[in-house]
Structure 1
Amino acid sequence: MTEQFTPEFREWPKTPRLFREIVITEKIDGTNAGLHISEDGQVVAQSRKRIVTPDSDNYDFARWAATNADELAHILGPGLHFGEWWGQGIQRRYGMGRKVFSIFNVVRWGTQADEDGTTMKSRAEQSGLVDQVDAVPILYRGVFDQDVIDDLMKELRENGSHAAPGFMNPEGICVYHSQSRGVFKVTLDQNDAGKWEAAA
């Protein structure tokens, strides 16, 4: 006699609603980076795939993090902070003579104050790293709207980067969807052809 098949019940997940808040930021073409900061201010750097050190680095990110560990711990606070390490000598280079670490968590960067009333942004502005630590530029925050996405892509193609004003070859946008908590990219290359190309 064949044994009775008894599968484990698996619930279908709730389907997120599309027309909820999104945050659209410029997608910067550098290298993915992250900083682990402990409660006592220790700083460890990583790339997309591994922990990096000054002796086994990724575009000098670990060396920069080690050199500026105290200020980075003060600016960002404890936690894991993901961002893009970009600028001089990395991917598109953006015509820059320096490198910048731009964090992805733009809401925490600019609006979430700590107990002392300061934000990451305000601490960065008061530090010696004001031109080396920032957040990716917010281009839109509101309800999902395909027309807004198309308009922003057209504006980037015509007017260039917000992260590096005057640079006329930006990569595209990232769309953070609040309900799904997912991030989606739309690029200005042929992989994501859209209405904005017809108007170009």
Structure 2
Amino acid sequence: MKLIYLLAALLLATSSLRAQDITNREIGVRISSFDNIGLIYKKQLSENTYRRYRLAFGNVNASFVRSNSLIGFSAGGAMGKEKRRAINDKLQFVYGTELIASINLNSSSTGNLTISDGNGGTTTYTGSNLLIVTPSIGVGFVLGAQYNFNPKWYISAELIPSITASGSFGNGTSLYSFQAGFNSSSAGVTGAYRF
């Protein structure tokens, strides 16, 4: 009888220890270039399906020359759904969609202010005490591969081509733009930890 109690206790202890090994969340760092680094968090919704959240680090810059100043701030993020298909026991194909949003604020006390549209184009505003606000929203399509080193760590490479719309507002003018396609900042490498 003692043996049955001992086996039952061991069975309960090992099953509760095994339940703690389930990993349904992931956190990592995504790098597109040396000046484009962000965080990524994923939560498992079902087998091979994840909700993903990307937060790009904000960019703050300030330049001061005599009484002139140029100040800029940008931040953005994305939220979406990701699915995975096994290629072999270590490699997975990753695909999904994301809703992408960002905001850019630029201020100049005097002179010209040139704003980038994110795809190589620019617009120049002239005048003094300029404040230009540029919100952007879009949809991205995630395509990539993920290599699982072990149950806790993986590395992935992704392309996120996107379609975005933005508007720049300030100094009494409005500029609307629409972009589609992908550029080098849409490619990234992620290293992540499961917990």
Q: TM-score, normalised by structure 1?
A: 0.22
**Which structure is higher in RCO with an 8 Å CA cutoff and minimum separation 6?**
1
Greater strand share, 1 or 2?
Answer: 2
Looking at CA atoms only, which structure, 1 or 2, has the larger radius of gyration? 2
TM-score by length of 2: 0.22
